[in-house]
Amino acid sequence: MSSSQSLYGIRRPKSEASKKDLASSSTLAFTNHLSSLIANESSSSNVDIHSASGRTVSRGRVRKSQKTDIFSVHNKGVQKRAAADISSDNAALQIHRRGTDIGEVDDAVLSRSKRKMLEKTKLYEELQKGEYLVTGDSDSDESEQPDDGFSAIRRADKNSLVNFDRKWAESRESGEDSKEAEDEDNTLVEYEDEFGRTRLGTKAEAAEALQNRQHKHPAADGEESTRDTKPSRVPSVARPSRPSNIIYGSTIQAAAFNPDESITAQMSKLAKKRDKSPTPPPETHYNAEGEVRTRGTGFYAFSNDEEIRKKEMEELMAARSETTLERDQAATKKEAREKAKQERRRKIEELRSKKRADQFLGSLETLLPSGTNSEEAEGRGAD
């Protein structure tokens, strides 16, 4: 095979070699130009090389973003607080200064400061001992009393925000009042309940019993209604009604409990049944209007009046006898028709049998020879 022919015997064009040279020259020029561009772009910082794809891609110039970077901007006051923390580490060291460092102080100022400190010390000691209590509260009392060293204490007690004396006295008074009220409520007294019994209980129970008595007997307890009583804790609606068979006062009771009462009641009931007249009970008829329901087609609603009911029954029996008579007549006519049918069928059957016999004899005549008489054929057929 020549080099100018392809694998399948197709002749190649003659101008292929010239085209190949042109393509190779253009490819070389493109490669030179591309290498120069790569060399220029590699010197700048805007070249991005993708090693994974194996291609060199250049991007445009990166512009500065107008938004602030969250990692470059600090919160307000952070630097000041950091500086304060650094300075506070050095502040932990205590530096003692002397008079030569801070300057001279007047003797009057020192004496006044010492006096104030002594007064505060005495006041604190008196407060701890409880000796700060005084009898006078006004300025006149303070001026009349001698200056025995407690004037500063009295002034401090007067100008203090908390009056410890009044607070202590009020707490004692409130405690005593509550204790007295509790003791008064728990005091046992005698009272009379709604059944007339003398009981022993608290004042609250006595007031409740008095209210119950007034509710039961308002006229009898009119004088006691003026007393100050506490209202009942149980509402009147929730309380059950009182029995009506209560006996008030001294009463002699006879036969309060009779164990044979039930037996006596049963015996009296049996005696009433025995002495009852043997007359039958009055007739009771079914009332159709007492029930709301649908009845059958043949239902007949009779009247509850005896006369009307009797008349309705007679009319119903007459209608029944008439219906029975018509039914018997219809049955008789039907039987006569059946008999006529049977007679007619019998006659028809006789005629059919005679016709069949004639047809049979006729068929025999056709089968017999010509010399044979009909009479002989009839005799043979009869045999």
What pLDDT sits at residue 221?
Answer: 47
Tell me the percentage of the chain whose pLDDT exceeds 90. Answer: 15
Q: 26-30, 78-82, 160-164, 224-228 — which one is most confidently predicted on average?
A: 78-82
pLDDT digits (tens, 9 = 90+) for 102-143: 667 778 888 899 999 999 988 887 776 665 554 444 444 445
* Residue found under tokens 């101008």: 15
Average pLDDT over residues 363-371: 73
DSSP element (H, E) containing 55: strand 55-58
Average pLDDT over residues 196-200: 83
Which three-class secondary structure string do you get for 111-146? HHHHHHHHHHHHHHHHHHHCCCCCCCCCHHHHHHCC
Chain mean pLDDT for the chain: 73
What pLDDT sits at residue 240?
Answer: 74
> How far is 294 from 164, CA to CA, in rounded Å?
95
List, in order, residues 6 or more apart from 364 with CB less than 8 Å away.
377, 381
Residue 287 φ/ψ, nearest 5 degrees: -100, 115
